[in-house]
Amino acid sequence: MFIHSVYFWLAKPESDDDRAALKAGLESLRSVDAIHHVEIGVAAPTRRPVIDHTYDFALMMTFTDEAAHDVYQVHPIHLAFVEHCKHLWSRVQIYDVATK
């Protein structure tokens, strides 16, 4: 499996419209066939010194392998999401994990 975790910080976190627009954009990614499983969420209420809870949305996807992930990266739905939503975030942090 290949795990692709993406964390988003809204450019205007006080804007309910921007929050809804980014959530809708993230939901649109569910229709990409290359994705094995997807979860969309927000920071949990856990608070410990080692936890970063400053992000606004988290996107976690699993793929059967890195090749499927690579298909997703150039998929028209993913490219449209980036084009239409990139103005909504001030920061994106990505962690990719290859499992054995």
User: Domain locations in the chain?
Assistant: 2-98
66 φ/ψ angles, rounded to the nearest 5 degrees: -65, -35
Distance from the first to the final alpha carbon of the chain: 7
Tokens of 25: 């954009």
**What is residue 73's predicted lDDT score, i.e. its pLDDT?**
98
Q: In CATH, what number does 2-98 get?
A: 3.30.70.100
pLDDT (tens digit per residue) in 11-31:
999 999 999 999 999 999 999
User: What is the per-residue pLDDT for 60?
Assistant: 98
What whole-number distance in Å separates Cα of residue 46 and Cα of residue 82? 29
pLDDT of residue 64: 97
Give the amino acid at 58. Answer: A
Point out the residues of the chain with pLDDT beneath 70.
none
DSSP string, 17-78: HHHHHHHHHHHHGGG-TT-SEEEEE---S---TT-----SEEEEEEESSHHHHHHHHT-HHH
Residue 22, pLDDT score: 98
pTM to 2 decimal places? 0.95
User: What is the pLDDT, as a whole number, of residue 100?
Assistant: 82
